[in-house]
């Protein structure tokens, strides 16, 4: 009897020690040398993109409606569209800090270094305890205009941003200081409405210090197409004034169909996305569209294609482009991508410009990397 009790007591003591030891170790690892909790330290991550390429051709850039769009067109995603030859560069180094402010808010700060310039891309607070299915962000943020425009460079499905988006909206999207309010509607499917009021700084809406505000809205809905596919539809618009105090309007409509099997979901998937954009500026109306397919052929291999058309209406000369990409993605923290692209006037039989690009991107730090497309 005493022997049994002693054995039970010994086993209980051993279990208590086994539990207490990791807890103590965890407590020590969650505090600094001064005893301050590490939970208050921000999660830090970095995303790095290294690119090499060869281009040939001297295609003329389409006329832009304002100087900001002209600069975006000339940059052509980080390199001059008129140059031929080879290049190797670090396209971007992005640093992200994320942390809880308190029990009611979360902060995100994203700083990027590209083309030798340091820029605060986003710095905002997300209010996490809003009532009635509401959400809010305050600070410098990217306005949700369409699907491609809000994405950071390392999140793009291709090495370069769609030329249609770069010319009509801007290569870096619409980043401005403002307040964003979102509402998850009570509809029987996922449906979210987002409204934003911002300072009106980004092109083509004006320059820093503009006296008119920028208003933007986006409505997004998501439906299940059976057990393996979803349909994602969104419409968005932004309105304000340009630097000459004239009205400016941007609009976008997007549709995405995503398929992923129930079995072997990590080794196969398919995405089809189409987006149309329009711009009204200085009494001129310009429009364009692109469509892409991203097929996960194996667990680590992706095959992708994109077709786009610029100058559907307005003064922009009709231009079309085609891109093909193959990607090797060992994990969500790194990817190696090879892309071929060509573009030219719709009426021309030969491309005005073609380019081959090779990109290696990796992410480090405590912030989880974004899942590949």
Count of domains observed in the chain: 1
The boundaries of the domain holding residue 336 are 53-365
Question: In this predicted model, what pLDDT tens digit does every residue of 303-327 receive, in sequence order?
Answer: 999 999 998 887 777 889 999 999 9
| Residue 4 counted as domain residue | no
Check whether 195 has a pLDDT greater than 70.
yes
Q: How many CA atoms lie within 13 A of 215 on its CB side?
A: 4
| Tokens (6 digits) for 357 | 């690009």
| Residue 19 counted as domain residue | no
| Residue 371 counted as domain residue | no
Reported as a pLDDT band with limits 50, 70 and 90, residue 114 is: confident
| Residue 333 counted as domain residue | yes
| Tokens (6 digits) for 248 | 């400016």
| Residue 1 counted as domain residue | no
The structure's pTM equals 0.81
* Cα–Cα distance for residue pair 108/235, rounded to 1 Å: 26
pLDDT of the residue at 178: 95
Question: In this predicted model, what pLDDT tens digit does every residue of 8-49 receive, in sequence order?
Answer: 344 443 444 344 444 444 444 555 554 545 566 889 999 999
CATH number, domain with residue 225: 2.40.160.10
| Residue 238 counted as domain residue | yes
Mean pLDDT score, 281-295: 91
| Residue 150 counted as domain residue | yes
pLDDT of the residue at 245: 75
Q: For the chain, give the number of residues.
A: 373
Do 286 and 316 form a contact (C-beta atoms < 8 A)? yes
| Residue 359 counted as domain residue | yes
Question: In this predicted model, what pLDDT tens digit does every residue of 128-142 receive, in sequence order?
Answer: 999 989 999 999 999
Question: In this predicted model, what pLDDT tens digit does every residue of 237-265 receive, in sequence order?
Answer: 999 887 777 888 999 999 999 999 988 77
Share of the chain above pLDDT 70, in %: 78
């Amino acid at each position: 009897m005493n022997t049994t009790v002693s054995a039970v007591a010994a086993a209980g003591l051993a279990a208590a020690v086994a539990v207490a030891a990791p807890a103590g170790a965890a407590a020590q690892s969650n505090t600094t040398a001064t005893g301050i909790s590490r939970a208050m330290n921000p999660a830090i991550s970095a995303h790095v993109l290294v690119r090499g390429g060869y281009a040939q051709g001297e295609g003329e850039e389409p006329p832009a409606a304002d100087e900001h769009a002209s600069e975006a067109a000339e940059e052509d995603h980080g390199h001059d569209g008129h140059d031929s030859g080879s290049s190797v560069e670090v396209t971007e180094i992005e640093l992200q800090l994320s942390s809880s402010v308190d029990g009611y808010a979360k902060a995100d700060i994203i700083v990027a270094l590209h083309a030798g310039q340091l820029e605060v891309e986003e710095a905002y607070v997300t209010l996490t305890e809003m009532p009635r299915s509401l959400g809010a962000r305050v600070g410098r943020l990217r306005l949700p205009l369409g699907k491609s425009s809000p994405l950071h460079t390392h999140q793009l499905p291709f090495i370069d941003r769609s030329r249609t988006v770069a010319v009509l909206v801007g290569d870096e999207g619409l980043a401005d200081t403002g307040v964003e309010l979102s509402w998850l509607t009570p509809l029987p499917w996922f449906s979210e409405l987002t409204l934003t009021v911002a300072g009106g700084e980004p092109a083509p809406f004006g320059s820093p210090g503009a006296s008119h505000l920028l208003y933007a809205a986006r409505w997004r809905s998501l439906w299940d197409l059976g057990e393996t596919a979803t349909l994602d539809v969104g419409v968005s618009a932004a309105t304000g004034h340009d630097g000459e105090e004239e009205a400016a309007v941007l609009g976008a409509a997007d549709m995405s169909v995503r398929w992923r099997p129930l079995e072997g979901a990590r080794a196969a998937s398919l995405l089809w996305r189409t987006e149309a954009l329009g711009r009204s500026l200085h009494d001129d109306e310009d429009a364009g569209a692109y469509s892409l397919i991203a097929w996960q052929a194996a667990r680590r291999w992706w095959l992708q294609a994109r077709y786009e058309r610029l100058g559907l209406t307005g003064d922009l000369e009709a231009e079309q482009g085609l891109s093909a990409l193959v990607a090797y993605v060992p994990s969500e923290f790194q990817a190696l991508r090879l892309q071929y692209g060509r573009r030219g006037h719709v009426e021309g039989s030969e491309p005005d410009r073609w380019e081959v690009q090779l990109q290696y991107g990796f992410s480090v730090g405590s912030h989880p990397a974004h899942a590949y497309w």
